[in-house]
Amino acid sequence: MTLLSTRGLAKDFGGLRAVHNVDFDLPQGQIRALIGPNGAGKTTFVGMLCGRLTPSAGRVAFDGADISTLPAHKRIRLGMAYTFQITSVFARLSCHENVALAVRRRHGDEASEVPAALVRVGLGHLEQALAGDLSYGHQRLLEIAMGLAQRPRLLILDEPTQGLSDSEIQAFKALIRDLSAEATILLIEHNMDVVMATADRVTVLNFGEILAEGTPPEIRADRAVQAAYLGTG
């Protein structure tokens, strides 16, 4: 079953075409990686999925319903979660409260679910610390914990491994595989190692258009993709 799909999705910024005519389908339960060179329109594309940006044209459907006109918070309530590319946590609140805000919105059990989400990303010992005092890598993990605590059906992660140490990246890969049982995952990722190890399928964006789509080995072998990345095309 298709959880998320777009038809003809496009975004212009004052004449500059950031995303152009994208048809995209994401089946339920899949881990999909979205890759592409810098400026390919990846963040713009997912911004339109979760309602942070208004498309210039096109439709977005989630779970069979057209959500093109819904504001961001209503899309989140349908079961999407989004972690920001540039870390965005509540810096002056504790890690507990950061995650609790995610739990409370869907009337979950704060006392049990907050520690569980923090432990799952490896921040169990930092529950009372201020989010702003955490290292950059830990803040990224906190964002993922907030994403988990929303119990989303679709989790959109925008470059989650940026700034993580090697050991944290290993733990992240395990976490993603573990999560795939509960949620569909759309992963924007630069780290090819992570993409190859986690994704079921890969979509490549280039100049705002879908360049290729396939399994990780197919994408690795694709000449057009190599050209886009290496600039030899």
Subset of 124-153 contacting other proteins (CB under 8 A) = 146, 150
Two structure tokens written together for 44:
């713009």
β-sheet with 80-83: strand ranges across: 80-83, 154-158, 184-188, 31-35, 201-206, 209-214
Considering the complex, what minimum distance in angstroms separates the CB of residue 154 from other proteins?
13
- CB-based contacts of 25, cutoff 8 Å, min separation 6: 2, 4, 5
**Binding test (CB under 8 A) with other proteins, winner from 17, 106, 120, 190:** 106
Q: Binding pattern to other proteins, positions 65-104, x when CB under 8 A?
A: -------xx--xx---xx-x---xxxxxx---x--xxx-x
* Piece of 12-20, 116-124, 203-211, 222-230 that binds other proteins (CB under 8 A): 12-20
Considering the complex, what minimum distance in angstroms separates the CB of residue 216 from other proteins?
29
The site for other proteins, by CB under 8 A, has a size of 27
**Binding test (CB under 8 A) with other proteins, winner from 2, 8, 13, 136:** 13
* Piece of 11-19, 118-126, 162-170, 185-193 that binds other proteins (CB under 8 A): 11-19
CB count, 10 Å around CB of 231? 8
Two structure tokens written together for 154:
């679709």
Considering the complex, what minimum distance in angstroms separates the CB of residue 221 from other proteins?
36
Considering the complex, what minimum distance in angstroms separates the CB of residue 105 from other proteins?
5
Q: Note whether 43 binds other proteins by CB under 8 A.
A: no
Q: Which of 207, 162, 158, 212 is nearest to 186 (CA)?
A: 158
CA dist., res. 59 & res. 50, Å (int): 12
Considering the complex, what minimum distance in angstroms separates the CB of residue 80 from other proteins?
9
Question: Which residues in this chain contact other proteins in the complex, by CB under 8 A?
Answer: 13-15, 50, 52, 72-73, 76-77, 81-82, 84, 88-93, 97, 100-102, 104-106, 146, 150
